[in-house]
Amino acid sequence: MRFAVWLTALSFAFSAVSYAQVPDLVPVPMSGSGGMLPSLGGADTGLSWVEERQIGDEIAYQIQQDPVYERDPLLHEYVNDIWQRLLNASLRDGELSKDLHQRMAWKMFLIRDPTVNAFALPGAYIGVNLGLVSIVNTRDELASVLAHESVHIFQRHIARLYAESKNFSLISIASLIIGAAAASANPSVGSAILMGGQAAAIQGQINFTRTMEYEADRIGYKVLVDAGFRPQGMAEMFQKLADAARYSDTTSYPYLRTHPLTNERIAEAQVRAGIDLHTASRPMDYQQALMGARAKVLARSQPDALRQLLQTGMGAPIAGREADSRAGDLYAGALAAVKLRQFEQANQLQQQLVDQVQGQPVAERIAQLLGAEIALAENNPAQALQWLGDEPTTVAVLARPERLLRAQTALASGQPVQAIDSLQPWVFKQTDDDVAWTLLSTAYSMNRQPTLALRAEGESRMVVGDFGGAIDRFKVALSQGRQNNATIYDLELIQARLRAAEQAQKDRMEQMR
């Protein structure tokens, strides 16, 4: 609940920034954009690269420490792969400058919230609600939203507003940070601060909002196509949102408040795609059907909602329902059954899913991983290993979801050394994987290596910006390591990480002054 209020306040803050009235921007040619774009630059925006990154990092740290921050490996892999395709195409074709790419974070995170929303933050962070993933029919639709949000980042919209309207934007940025901090302790106070910022900015909202949104639509469409997604995806997504605005309670679609649709935007998207949505048919997309079902289950964990999903999965196929949609029903039903601890039904639905997706390699992989998840939930690691199959000859080729599941299976089997052997080389390269660090900490503890367990736990706290927690764990690790005759290498490494955590905490305090 605290996060939901905090994120609502954050959305209000960004609405205020987006709706600010700004003088006309001077257009200049930009390679790969297909048109004239506003001049951006680093020093000329008023908000420096460093300041923007610091603001984004602090917001991201706040989000990552909230319980509603979603760490699901499969969903993260799915959405992040789409975003990375968009970024790579943008970098290749010039929509994203190399300078901006090097200076910013470019991290995506998921929010366990059933409402339909996605939002760009300073510093090149992008947030995606599970509700958005659950309602799209194809990867192309989801990619169109991410492409649109990416353009807001490429064009440094927040920094531009700060440059053109310094007084207002200073208030907006200050309200965002202060309101977020206040909302953490008292949600109603934080929300009031940020809503005040929005009220001060509402004048002149229509013209500039349309300018900004048209820019993101136009460049976002090119990014979408250049990344290899179907051009129809944007038009289909706009139509879905338009239908929601017309027939649904828009409190479930906060994206429509911060990204208002117009008939012109919808029409232009259809013209660009060259389709008539009333006659066009969508392609089968088993991967999105399954990942949308997974997002739905994780976002709606109330027992009544889970029982409804289970009932739909156990029921007879709905007449006229596409094969990929039926696969999604089976997958959602099985996951819901696991959460309800009805394992007989979970296994039954998983087997039906395996049969349903035969010949679809990506979907087959997801169905097999589901089998391993069910087996682990039943405390049957041997069965989980059967679903995971033979381990590759080199663990370096393991995808992240498989690696983490294998580590969990090893721990459930009482074999922490196997988990350590898999996770150690992974975190050496993927230092920002807090889930892997946490599993590694558990493995070290089970293997009676408390010093290394504390060090790994400290690393997980560093990733999410809990520098105080990291300092505490590194200090205890040093103390224990000296008492237990840890190696010089381990002690020096922990000492170095302690210094890094202390410096990070010091830097944060200086930034907040």
pLDDT tens digits, one per residue of 413-453 = 999 999 999 999 999 999 999 999 999 999 999 999 999 99
pLDDT tens digits, one per residue of 454-472 = 999 999 999 999 999 999 9
For position 20, what pLDDT does the model report? 33
pLDDT tens digits, one per residue of 310-337 = 999 999 888 778 999 999 999 999 999 9
For position 369, what pLDDT does the model report? 98
Could you tell me which residues come within 8 angstroms of residue 5 by beta carbon, excluding any fewer than 6 positions away? 183, 187, 188, 190, 191
- pTM surpassing 0.75? yes
Q: Of the given ranges (53-62, 133-142, 348-357), which has the lowest mean pLDDT? A: 53-62
Cα pseudo-dihedral 234, 236, 240, 246, rounded to 10: 90
Q: In a 10 Å sphere around its CB, with 0-12 CB exposed, 13-18 middle and 19+ buried, how is residue 509 labelled?
A: exposed
Spatial CA neighbour of 235 closest among 285, 289, 275: 275
473 neighbors 457 (Cβ within 8 angstroms): yes
Give the C-alpha separation, 261 to 255, whole Å: 10
Give the C-alpha separation, 113 to 66, whole Å: 12
* C-alpha distances in Å from residue 213, one per residue of 157, 207, 274, 287, 297: 11, 10, 20, 29, 32
Q: Give the pLDDT band (50/70/90) at residue 250.
A: low
With a cut of 80, say whether residue 28 has pLDDT above it. Answer: no
For position 165, what pLDDT does the model report? 52
pLDDT tens digits, one per residue of 115-172 = 999 988 888 999 999 999 999 999 999 999 999 999 988 988 766 665 555 444 434 4
Q: Of the given ranges (221-235, 270-284, 285-299, 480-494), which has the lowest mean pLDDT? A: 270-284
For position 287, what pLDDT does the model report? 98
With a cut of 50, say whether residue 2 has pLDDT above it. Answer: no
Give the C-alpha separation, 139 to 39, whole Å: 32
For position 68, what pLDDT does the model report? 87
Strands 118-121 and 125-129: antiparallel
With a cut of 60, say whether residue 1 has pLDDT above it. Answer: no
Q: Which residue has the tokens 């009235």?
A: 21
204 or 216, which is more confident = 216
With a cut of 50, say whether residue 500 has pLDDT above it. Answer: yes
Mean pLDDT score, 344-372: 97
For position 248, what pLDDT does the model report? 64
For position 480, what pLDDT does the model report? 94
Q: Give the pLDDT band (50/70/90) at residue 46.
A: low
With a cut of 80, say whether residue 5 has pLDDT above it. Answer: no
156 or 179, which is more confident = 156
For position 192, what pLDDT does the model report? 41
Distance between first and last Cα of the chain = 29
pLDDT tens digits, one per residue of 181-209 = 344 334 444 444 334 334 333 333 334 35
For position 56, what pLDDT does the model report? 85
For position 37, what pLDDT does the model report? 32
In DSSP terms, which residues pair with 107 in a beta bridge? Answer: 125
Q: Give the pLDDT band (50/70/90) at residue 346.
A: very high
- Please, what's the b/e burial string for 205-231 (b: 16 or more CB within 10 A of its CB; e: otherwise)? beebbeebbebbbbbbbbbbbbbebbb
For position 194, what pLDDT does the model report? 39
